[in-house]
Structure 1
Amino acid sequence: MSISESARHGASGRERLVVIGADAAGMSAASQARRLKGPEELDIVAFERGHFTSYSACGIPYWVGGDVTERDELIARTPEEHRARGIDLRLRTEVTAIDLGRQGVHARDVDSGAESWTSYDKLVIATGARPIRPEMPGADAEGVHGVQTLDDGQELLDTLTRTRARGRHAVVVGAGYIGVEMAEALINRGYLVTVVNRGSEPMSTLDPDMGRLVHRAMEGLGITMVNDAEVTELLTHEDGRVRAVVTPDGEYPADVVVLGIGVRPETGLAKAAGLPLGAHGGLLTDLAMRVRGHENIWAGGDCVEVLDLVSGQERHIPLGTHANKHGQIIGTNAGGGYATFPGVVGTAVSKVCDLEIARTGLREKDARRAGLKFETVTIESTSRAGYYPGASPMTVKMLAERRTGRLLGVQIVGREGAGKRVDIAAVALTAGMTAEQMTTLDLGYAPPFSPVWDPVLVAARKAAAKVRNT
Structure 2
Amino acid sequence: MSSTRERLVVIGGDAAGMSAASQARRLRGPDELEIVAFERGHFTSYSACGIPYWVGGDVEQRDALIARTPEQHRERDIDLRMRTEVTRIDVANSRVLDRDLEGGGESWTTYDKLVIATGARPIRPALPGIDAPGVHGVQTLDDGQALLDTLARTEGRRAVVIGAGYIGVEMAEAMVNRGYEVTVVNRGKEPMSTLDADMGRLVHEAMTGMGIEMVNDAEVTKILTGDDGRVRAVATEDAEYPADVVVLGIGVRPETALAREAGLPLGEHGGILTDLAMRVRGHENIWAGGDCVEVLDLVSGSHRHIALGTHANKHGQVIGSNAGGGYATFPGVVGTAVSKVCDLELARTGLREKDARAAGLQFVAVTIESTSRAGYYPGAALMTVKMLAERRTGRLLGVQIVGREGAGKRVDVAAVALTARLTVEQMTALDLGYAPPFSPVWDPVLVAARKAVAAVRAG
TM > 0.5 fold call:
yes
**Map 1:66-465 → 2, pairs under 5 A:** 66-163=57-154, 165=155, 167-465=156-454
Counterpart Cα distance in 2 of 1:47 and 1:417: 41
SS in 1 for 2:150: helix
Uncovered stretches (5+) of structure 2, i.e. residues with no partner: none
**What secondary structure sits across from 1:25 in the alignment?**
helix
Q: Which string of whole-angstrom CA distances, capped at 9 and with x for unpartnered residues, describes residues 428-465 of structure 1?
A: 00000000000000000000000000000000000011
How many Å separate the matches in 2 of 1:81 and 1:240? 42
Checking the alignment, whether the CA contact within 8 Å between 2:260 and 2:266 is kept in structure 1 is yes
Does the alignment pair 1:30 with 2:48? no
Partner secondary structure for residue 220 of structure 2: coil
Is residue 466 from structure 1 mapped to residue 452 from structure 2 by the alignment?
no
1:72 aligned partner, one-letter code: D
Letter in 1 for 2:367: T
Could you tell me how far apart the structure 2 residues matched to 1:452 and 1:220 are? 31
Deviation at 1:177, TM superposition (A): 0.3
Work out the CA distance in 2 between the residues paired with 1:13 and 1:446.
Answer: 60
CA contact (8 A) 2:348 2:411 kept: yes
2:30 matches 1:48: no
Q: For the residues of structure 2 that align with 1:398 and 1:143, how far apart are their CA atoms? A: 41
Deviation at 1:238, TM superposition (A): 2.0
Q: Give a deviation string over 1:228-264, Cα, whole Å, max 9, x none.
A: 0000000011222111000011000011000000000
Give the distance between the partners of 2:360 and 2:273, measured in 1 at CA: 23
Asked if the contact 2:4–2:32 (Cα under 8 Å) also holds between the matched residues in 1, the reply is no
Could you tell me how far 1:112 is from its partner in structure 2?
1.4
- The whole-number CA distance in structure 2 between the counterparts of 1:38 and 1:169 is 53
Give, in whole Å, the separation in 1 of the partners of 2:115 and 2:229. 40
| Distance of 1:430 and 1:49 partners within structure 2 | 37
Which string of whole-angstrom CA distances, capped at 9 and with x for unpartnered residues, describes residues 152-177 of structure 1?
Answer: 000000000000x2x11100000000
Question: Structure 2: how far apart are the matches of 1:282 and 1:53?
Answer: 22
Q: Distance in 2 between matches of 1:365 and 1:139?
A: 31
- Distance, in Å, in 2 between the alignment partners of 1:222 and 1:114 is 51
Cα distance in structure 1, aligned partners of 2:172 and 2:268: 31
Per the alignment, in what secondary structure is the counterpart of residue 321 of structure 2? helix
TM-score normalised by the chain length of structure 1: 0.97
Deviation at 1:75, TM superposition (A): 0.1
CA distance in 2, matches of 1:217, 1:453: 26
Extract structure 1 runs of 4+ deviating beyond 6 A.
Answer: none
Residue by residue over 1:294-335, the C-alpha shift from the partner in whole angstroms, topping out at 9 and shown as x without a partner, is 000000000000000000000001100000000000000000
- Return the letter of the residue paired with 1:434: T
Q: How far did residue 13 of structure 1 move?
A: 5.2
How far apart in 1 are the matches of 2:51 and 2:436? Answer: 35
Q: Secondary structure at the match of 1:60?
A: helix
* 2: CA distance, partners of 1:173 / 1:263: 13
Could you list the runs of 5+ residues in structure 1 that have no partner in the other structure? 1-8
Task: Give TM-score, length-normalised by structure 2.
Answer: 0.99
Q: Distance in 2 between matches of 1:158 and 1:237?
A: 20
Native 8 Å contact 2:136 2:147 kept in 1: yes
Residue 59, structure 1, aligned to residue 28, structure 2:
no
Q: Give me the whole-angstrom Cα distance separating, in 2, the residues matched to 1:303 and 1:336.
A: 23
Alignment deviations for residues 351-404 of structure 1 (CA, whole Å, 9 cap, x no partner): 001100000000000001111100000000000000000000000000000000
What RMSD, in angstroms, separates the aligned Cα atoms of the two structures? 0.6
